[in-house]
A and B are shown apart, each in its own frame.
Chain A
Amino acid sequence: MRYSGFRVIKEALTGHKGWKPTWRDAEPQPEYDIIIIGGGGHGLATAYYLAKQFGQKRIAVVEKGWIGGGNVGRNTTIIRSNYMLDGNEPFYEFSLKLWEGLEQDFNYNAMVSQRGILNLIHSDPQRDAFVRRGNAMILNGADAEYLSREQLQEELPFLNYDNARFPIKGGLAQRRGGTVRHDAVAWGYARGADQHGVDIIQNCEVKGIRQKNGKAIGVETSRGFIGAKKIGCAVAGNSSRIMGMVNRKLPIESHVLQAFVSEGLKPVLPGVITFGAGHFYVSQSDKGGLVFGGDIDGYNSYAQRGNLPVVEDVCEGGMAIMPMIGRARVLRMWGGVMDMSMDGSPIIDKTDIEGLYFNGGWCYGGFKATPASGWCFAHLLAKDEPHETATAYRFDRFHKGLMIDEKGMGAQPNLH
């Protein structure tokens, strides 16, 4: 069923009796050509592009809980492509271009809103660094715009420009950045994949990966063994648990990142704003809540909840740039588990086990990457070679010294 304005009117006039479930509740078949482990944004996008773009058949997504119940429903919904390094920027710009056409492509309203993202500048060296990054973005076909303090004061009069410690001296804007309704991304990809014949199998936990002669031949699940010619692992946050089933150590630690929503307010924020001196970023959802977050807690965790010191740190960041936020009350806060990689960049690569492919290490930037991650992982699974924008996301880059370290922090995952 295609969704359209006409369909909404027709259903309204006929008592809404024609709506069908958005995807089938599939029973696992004994064997598939390709199994994707993980029914989150990346896994569903991979399945969708495998079926639609790369013409693959007999695909299944297996998910431990329900689809969209993990990080794709726990992030702060921001999309952007404001990276600097060569290994990253073409990939994230590819992703942003896919976001721009996504709703027409999968015929689902994901509320993609290009309301812009602004990184604030608080010192002269930071201005140099941000202008350099803006130039790198422009060289890779993205948009970037330097805004002076005066321009910002006109656009965003509510910011604290004269904070004694961190005055606002300007900003780097990407107007094409913005926010997306994150749950709708999971649902849209699930629906699109389902329409192309992908089996989405929920409540199906992977317990092991069966191997024969050094080749992965299927997954042991809570609903029995399912055979597969190829297996793709897209479970960021829990990557080490899946790869631990085949005794592989990853260049990844799992950390908890907290996010917050205030009570609903009338429109006050036009776009996404990030603090350049501490770690704080904020946008306003269409429901009116201020959605904001900051640093990870900084210790290994699979608990999906964080501690209060980071709550305080995030709120201090908010008060520093936007004192009016102190008038809003925090309504909810929650934690998600991140794959923090050793250089802050992801991995989309084959493993050393034939038939087993890996997608993970997204740190806390996985949501914006969802379309390109799915596309590039599908490319790798279908053609056995990396997509041109994802050639740097290899396992062996750590061994070879080819890290993609945007922040220059080294092998210390809690600092990326």
Chain B
Amino acid sequence: MIINHPLLGPRDSQEFTYLGDMSLINRPDWEADDAVDQFHEYLYLRDNPAGEHKELWFHEQGDRSWLVVTRNTLTHDITKVEIAKDIARQMGRSK
């Protein structure tokens, strides 16, 4: 698979390490009353869709950026690649 890095252009997926579902960006609040339940859901439960999947890839052998890759799990087609930092900021992280 070729991942079209927003900054570096098309790169072989072998340069990357795969983490998993993009929802892993949204780490729950450890002080919440139901933190145990929230962390259970965050750490262990997955949508695991057959089709479009937004997922985190780390450019380990490149610029060390985290990317959010939109990829179809039925065809391996990659339709969108974004910098994870931008998405996390859009979702209100690290303001």
A303 near B40: Cβ-Cβ < 8 Å: no
On whether A398 and B48 interact (CB within 8 A), knowing A300-B20, A300-B73, A301-B76, the answer reads: no
Chain B residues near A334 (CB-CB < 8 A) = none
Report the bound CA distance from A413 to B36 in whole Å.
21
B50 near A342: Cβ-Cβ < 8 Å: no
Most chain A beta-carbon contacts within 10 A, residue among B36, B40, B73: B73
Q: Does A69 contact B (CB under 8 A)?
A: no
Give the dominant DSSP class at A's interface.
mixed
Interface residues on B, range: 20 to 34
Q: Does B79 contact A (CB under 8 A)?
A: no
Segment at the B interface, from A16-24, A37-45, A129-137, A247-255: A247-255
B46 near A299: Cβ-Cβ < 8 Å: no
A interface residues, Cβ below 8 angstroms from B: 238, 240-241, 244, 249-254, 298-303, 307, 309, 342, 398-399, 411-414
Chain A residues near B48 (CB-CB < 8 A) = 240, 244, 249-250, 252-254, 300
Report the bound CA distance from A240 to B51 in whole Å.
12
Shortest CB–CB separation between residue B18 and chain A, in angstroms?
5
Interface residues of B in 27-78 (CB under 8 A from A): 36-37, 40-41, 43-50, 53, 55, 71, 73-76
Report the bound CA distance from A298 to B19 in whole Å.
9
B20 near A413: Cβ-Cβ < 8 Å: yes
Report the bound CA distance from A250 to B40 in whole Å.
11
Report the bound CA distance from A373 to B73 in whole Å.
28
A-B contact pairs, 13 of them (CB 8 A): A240-B46, A249-B45, A251-B46, A252-B48, A253-B48, A300-B21, A301-B76, A302-B50, A303-B73, A303-B76, A398-B43, A411-B44, A413-B20
For the complex with contacts A253-B48, A303-B75, 11 further pairs of A-B residues with Cβ separation under 8 Å are: A240-B48, A240-B50, A250-B46, A253-B21, A254-B73, A300-B73, A301-B76, A302-B74, A303-B76, A309-B13, A342-B43
B44 near A299: Cβ-Cβ < 8 Å: no
A342 near B44: Cβ-Cβ < 8 Å: yes
State which of B13, B36, B37, B44 has its C-beta within 8 Å of the C-beta of A251: B44
State which of A307, A309, A399, A413 has its C-beta within 8 Å of the C-beta of B40: A399
Report the bound CA distance from A302 to B21 in whole Å.
15
A241 near B18: Cβ-Cβ < 8 Å: no
Shortest CB–CB separation between residue B25 and chain A, in angstroms?
16
